[in-house]
Structure 1
Amino acid sequence: MNNSRPAILISIIVLIAIVLLTKLFMIQVADDSFLKRAERNAIQRVVDHPYRGLVYDRNDKLLVYNNPVFDLMVIPKEFTVKDTARFCDLFNIEKEELIIRYQAARKYSWVKPSPMVKAISNEDFARIQDYLIDYPGLFVMTRSVRAYPQASAANALGYIGEISGAQLEKDTVKYYRQGDYVGLAGMEGFYEHYLRGRKGVKYKMVNVRGVDKGSFKGGEYDTMSMAGKNIVSTIDLDLQLYGEKLMSGKRGSVVAIEPSTGEVLAMISAPSYDPNQLAGSRFGKNYGLLTMDETKPLFNRPIMAMYPPGSIFKVVQSLIGLQEGIFTPNTTFPCNQALVKCHPHPSPANLFGAIKYSCNPYYHQGYRKLINREVSSNTFIDTRIGLDQWRESVMKFGLGSPLGIDMRNEKGGQIPGSALYNKIYGENRWKYSTIYSLSIGQGEMLVTPLQMANLAAIFANKGWYYPPHLVRSIDGSSENIPEKFRTKVSVGVDAHHFDMVQEAMAEALSGTANRAIIKDIVIAGKTGTAQNPGGADHSVFVAFAPKDNPKIAIAVYVENSGFGGRAAASTASLMIEQYLRGDITRPALEEYVLAGKFLY
């Protein structure tokens, strides 16, 4: 018995040794998970963020470029701070924010880097770089933010910001990660796929103190980033800057379009903001301030504000009436102010005179003929049928739905039909006398300034347009822009009907907008006064010039400025002269607009 004990002990020891050796073999040879885990602790994966594509104006002037900034990254396992107050002061971060970001980093990963302080400027980085060695677990990663040489075109260009959780969920290809920056508005948002470029990845060896020991396996697994594609926009920077100067201190919109292409030459939303405010580390703070600003500088009026078109819509009524055979150039109605108010002018007027003098009673009577065609003996049904047919014709002019410009959040306005009035009044409980205000572009009708500028382009082109857009080329090729912007759209009105209308619009300036007249440049235009239940009416004007070879079509809304022949027509006329001549020959008119004494 005693002699067998050594043998048993030896057997047990051998058995244990076999188990341990087997386990060791499995860990070190058969199972490489521990090796990979060890490598991950020693290998740092650094994302190489590409430079976003640059944005130029139509004359190759730089609008948007990239400015290098630095993100302070933290590896929670290695990070220690002895003097929190000194750290916060040095790195310009609140103690509460430091705690929140450190806890978020720990939650994400104990050993992987997370951002601690974002978008550190070159100046601040120069100040702090010598102190980084005092804080284990910190390192700096370089990326870029947008910068703007001119404080201009903010609403058209848009801005970039940190991607949201909702956007991450929609990212089916998993390109983005939490903390990435993405285009959120304007051209930045719409053309994000082109501007963002392609991320690269570099793997670096680091020791336990996080000191860089060189690339992992000679960079075998590294991938290069690829810069985003450059964009040439349709914007004319000089015209844009001049328009913003004219609209300074006012509220409203200016949209100018090249009729032959649909290219947007200028898009002014007033008041606006300096786009540099939403670049870099102060994005969050400044965005909050801009959001709370009662003047709503982030509200993109050209595509989001909706107003009644006013008397400008009379031109559309005229063209539909001509196409439908309801009007002829000689159709005459008296200026019967018992129907609706009007201003003094020769009466009775034919269609040419009605456009020239903007006769309200003419369109009250003419619109009745358009709507009530006696297709039914029941006047309620007759009005309903006529209204829906008229609405279909109006919407062909790009009204009542978004035009599809290359920006997000475009509004479509409203062209009312029977469904709306049935909802308001009930079926068969409304007729022409209920809706006659539509005859002069008032009532429940709403349009955007962009749609009005597009109307001016339609008048200039005699019945067609290209959908308005903000980009001429991507990566040097116009073929890269969406096909719809190179597809002509017809409004369904024969070209010959526009001849008389264009002549009447040219004559209209001497009748309602003589301030807009420019020597040696024939402008065809139409004034409007958009009713505003909340205060003074809005001044409206659309035009194109030169009349016989149009180079620019424009719409101007100046809020709370009354008659269209004052603020809006003057502003549009100066914009036209600036674009066609390159300078202003009427300094008194410019001073009148800049002074803004027409504001109520």
Structure 2
Amino acid sequence: MLENRKFIIIGVFCLVGLLYAARLFYLQILDDSYALESSSNSIKRVIEVPYRGQIYDRSGKLMVYNTPVYDLYVTPKRVKIPDTLAFCRMMDITLPEFDSIMNLAKGYSAVKPSVFLRQLSKEDYARIQDALVDYRGFEPVMSSMRTYPAHTMANALGYVSEISKKRLETQETPYYRQGDYVGHNGLEEAYEVDLRGRRGIKYVMQNVRGVDKGSFKNGEFDTAAVAGKNLYTGIDIDVQRYADSLMLNKVGAVIALDPSTGEIITSVSAPTYDPNLLSSRFFSKNYRKLISNPYKPLINRPVMASYRPGSTFKLIQALIAQQQGSLFTSTYYSHAGSPMRCHCRGGNNLRGAVQNSCNPYFYQVFRKYIYHNGNPNTFKASALGLQEWHDHVIKFGIGEKLGVDLPSELRGNLPTVGFYDKAYRGEFRWKFSNIYSLSIGEGELLISPLKLANLAATIANRGWYITPHYVKGIGNMGEGIPEKYKEKHYTDIDPQYYLPVIEGMRMAVAAGTVKKDADINGIDLCGKTGTSQNAKFGHAHDHSIFIGFAPMNNPKIAIAVFVENAGWGGVAAASVAALVAERYLKRKTEATKLNDWLLKQNYMPPLSMLPQPRTSASTPKKPADTATKKVLPKDSLRRPKPMLTLARGNEKLRIKNEE
């Protein structure tokens, strides 16, 4: 019995020994992966960064591409520089800059390579290539730099720069390394995963001195880099550049889209800058200049700026009141009984009120709407009516993010019953006399140019819109975009109620509030003007607004234009919109008189009118209860009964309005 146990134990040990021997044979003879890991001293792992995807306009014209450049890396422990001053002159850097870069490299690692100079052009690299052999520890690596041949749409495109420490630490899936380039803002950030491609890895043998000796195992373990996907946008680059020229010496935004698809045709944020400024090794210096510019060129105004919509909002009032049954096309209102002033003579029906932008008319429309289902003498009726109003308006995309394919869209503000309850410290402490400025798009309403362009598209489509978007194809034209950019969103307004509003919009351009020259032959432009109050600079510097679409039937373009400090909406903003629509529809500019006049206009506010940067010494500390403080904003349309607003929210939104 004992003899049998001895043989069993010996057998178990022999079996374990055989298993270990077999495993060692597999690891050392058959499997090369561990040999690769153990050869780190003789095999160099080279990361191959793929080319980012390129960006095209709607007709296939190149808007963004990659230019080959060289990044120069340094390994501090291997550095040997016979003459530092001569080296600095060759690299076109100063001695303090050299010391700073080397200290950063040593702080990162003495034995690992880090960036010494980025984005050397082919010409710069050719100039130093032969001389680099005399300086050990420096290694050039081929890279690429984003180039913008159209020199336009900087804010919407975004830029590419080195990944920030915060973004590096918070990435959900580990992918980026220190020193990697990543998209910031605009399309570069929104479509980063598609544009960046997939990195490759190449294993290269080297001797003890670090000299490359060829590919390891003939590239058996190498993985090829995969270039990023190209983006195809709905932008018409020719119209885009023309719109840029019209907005020279102006502050504001132009946003135009195709109503049938939601594709954005033109996106102008003025003043702007050349996107190539943020695509070179002088990024930091150029960025500092742009961020300190008092006219705020880094703000993407079409989606980030919030303005009071002014009289353009009357279009929504007309539509929802008809749907409610409190307004008919034949409904007639004079100026009697209204606290609002107006430039027209009064006595309008619905079409005439849209044509002439009659303030008292839409005061009465809004009042009838709010009290339609209740007693006009009760606070409760005001709350019920405002809630119904809010529920109708929000279906036009107002007061919420539309979902445009940019990372910087703001929600704006569509006041609710709760908003006024909080502002007036308690339920039913406010009434219609506190909110009637909403009837003409003033008060607490704040809307971006993008949302007003979307409103124009909704009216052009007689009741639906597709979420506005810049990109119409990923990888291939017309493929790969999310389904949400194909889905129709319907308002709850019957199509029949759009016709009188559209007819009034056409009359506004042909014989209403629009500058006569802006009614261009062959365009059949329908539109609505607006003049948004600018409380800070006074009414002489109100913002000029226009929204519209063309042609009247089977519209091809919907547009919104904001020109800050330009006064009447029917002059500056309407002229820009008409010329942009003409260029898109006709592919040329025939209204040369209007074009020449507009190019001469300068609406840039003087620097003395702009907010001055505050120093820490001069900036007073805000009290802790600022969030609940109430202020009375100036509003000349209803000075007897001013409206209360929350100070913090009002201050924040006003800054966005006037920047």
TM-score of the superposed pair, with normalisation by structure 1: 0.91
Map 1:98-117; keep pairs closer than 5 Å.
98-117=98-117
1:201 aligns to 2:201 (yes or no) = yes
Distance 1:136 1:38 in 2: 26
Matched with 1:530 is 532
Residue 371 of structure 1, CA deviation: 1.2
Over residues 522-572 of structure 1, what are the superposed CA-to-partner deviations in whole Å (9 max), with x where a residue is unaligned? 111111101111221011111101101100001111110000111011111
**Structure 2 residue identity aligned to 1:539:** S
- The equivalent of 1:364 in structure 2 is 363
Deviation sequence 1:203-248 (CA, Å, 0-9, x none): 2222343322212232222111011111111100010000000001
Cα deviation, residue 117, structure 1: 1.2
Report if the CA contact (8 A) 2:560-2:577 is conserved.
yes
> How far apart are the structure 2 equivalents of 1:374 and 1:303?
36
Match of 1:47 in 2: 47
Show the 5 A alignment for 1:97-496.
97-336=97-336, 338-345=338-345, 347-373=346-372, 375=374, 379-427=378-426, 428-496=428-496
Residue 25 of structure 1 corresponds to which residue in structure 2?
A: none
RMSD after superposition: 2.1
Note if contact 2:232-2:477 (Cα within 8 Å) is conserved in structure 1.
no
User: In structure 2, what residue type is equivalent to 1:512?
Assistant: T
Amino acid at match of 1:470: Y
Cα distance in 1 for residues equivalent to 2:215 and 2:43: 9
Which residue in 1 is equivalent to 2:512? 511
Rounded to whole Å, the distance in 2 between the matches of 1:214 and 1:529 is 70
Offset of 1:349 from its aligned partner? 1.4
Alignment of 1:68-107 (within 5 A): 68-107=68-107
Cα displacement (A) at 1:472: 1.1
Give 3-state SS (helix, strand or coil) of 2:321's partner: helix
Residue 477 of structure 1 deviates from its aligned partner by 4.8
Q: Deviations over 1:451-476 (max 9, x none)?
A: 11111101100010000000111111
- For residues 229 and 599 of structure 1, do their structure 2 counterparts lie closer, same or farther at Cα, with a shift above 3 Å needed? closer
**Percent of aligned positions with the same letter in both sequences?**
48
Once structures 1 and 2 are overlaid, which stretch shifts more, 210-219 or 573-582? Answer: 210-219
CA separation in 2, counterparts of 1:236 and 1:224? 35
Provide the residue aligned with 1:4 in structure 2. none
Q: Deviations over 1:424-451 (max 9, x none)?
A: 2212321110111000001111100001
Q: Cα distance 1:51–1:438, how it changes in 2: closer, same or farther (>3 A)?
A: same
Encode CA deviations 1:456-501: one digit per residue, 9 max, x unaligned: 1011000100000001111115341011101100111111111111
1:177-224 superposed Cα distances (whole Å, 9 cap, x missing partner): 111111101111111111111111112222343322212232222111
SS of residue paired to 2:467: coil
* Secondary structure of 1:396 counterpart: helix
Q: Distance in 2 between matches of 1:328 and 1:33?
A: 79
Measured in 2, the distance between the counterparts of 1:399 and 1:512 equals: 25
Of 582, 594, 603 in structure 2, the residue corresponding to residue 589 of structure 1 is: 594
Residue 147 of structure 1 contacts residue 276 of structure 1 at CA under 8 Å; is this kept in 2? yes
1:313-351 Cα distance to aligned partner (Å, 9 max, x none): 001000000111111111121123751000133x32111
What are the superposed Cα offsets for residues 84-124 of structure 1, whole Å, 9 maximum, x if unpaired?
22222222334444344434434444433221111112121
Range that drifts further, 437-446 or 378-387: 378-387
Assess if the C-alpha contact under 8 Å between 2:457 and 2:558 holds in 1.
Answer: yes
Does the C-alpha gap of structure 1 residues 466 and 556 become closer, same or farther in structure 2, counting only changes over 3 Å? Answer: same
Structure 1 Cα separation of the partners of residues 218 and 160 of structure 2: 35
Q: Is the 8 A contact 1:76 1:137 kept in 2?
A: yes
Matched residue of 1:124: which SS? Answer: helix
2:363 and 2:79 map into 1 onto residues whose CA distance is 77
Worse-matched range after superposition: 473-482 or 45-54: 473-482
In the alignment, what sits opposite 1:14? none
SS in structure 2 at match of 1:472? strand
1:503 deviation in Å?
A: 0.8
> How far did residue 599 of structure 1 move?
6.7
**Corresponding letter in the other structure for 1:404:** G
* TM superposition shift of 1:520: 2.7
Question: Which amino acid in the other structure matches residue 525 of structure 1?
Answer: G
After superposition, give the CA deviation of every residue in 1:38-94 in whole Å (9 maximum; x if it has no partner).
732332222111011111100111100001111111222211224322222222334
Distance 1:154 1:234 in 2: 16
Q: 2:404·2:467 contact (CA, 8 Å) conserved in 1?
A: yes
Q: Displacement of 1:376 after TM fit?
A: 6.1
Contact 1:136/1:210, CA 8 A, preserved across alignment: no
Question: Could you tell me how far apart the structure 1 residues matched to 2:461 and 2:35 are?
Answer: 71
Q: Distance in 1 between matches of 2:371 and 2:425?
A: 19
Mapped to 1, the partners of 2:176 and 2:434 lie a distance apart of 54
The range that moved more, 172-181 or 54-63, is 172-181
Q: 1:598 to 1:128 in 2, by over 3 A?
A: closer
Structure 1 contact 45–204 (Cα < 8 Å) conserved: yes
Tell me which amino acid in the other structure corresponds to 1:298.
Answer: L
Q: Secondary structure at the match of 1:262?
A: coil
Q: Which residue of 1 aligns with 2:637?
A: none
Q: Distance in 1 between matches of 2:217 and 2:579?
A: 65
Q: How many residues align structurally?
A: 570
Question: Contact 1:246–1:593 (CA<8 Å) still a contact in 2?
Answer: yes
Secondary structure of the corresponding residue to residue 160 of structure 1 = strand
Cα contact 2:54–2:230 (8 A) shared by 1:
yes
TM-score normalised by the chain length of structure 2? 0.83
Correspondence for 2:14: none
Contact 2:80–2:135 at 8 Å: present in 1 too?
yes
Change (3 A) 1:370 1:218: same
Q: Could you tell me which residue of structure 1 aligns to residue 576 of structure 2?
A: 571
Residue type of the alignment partner of 1:553: A
CA distance in 2, matches of 1:150, 1:224: 32
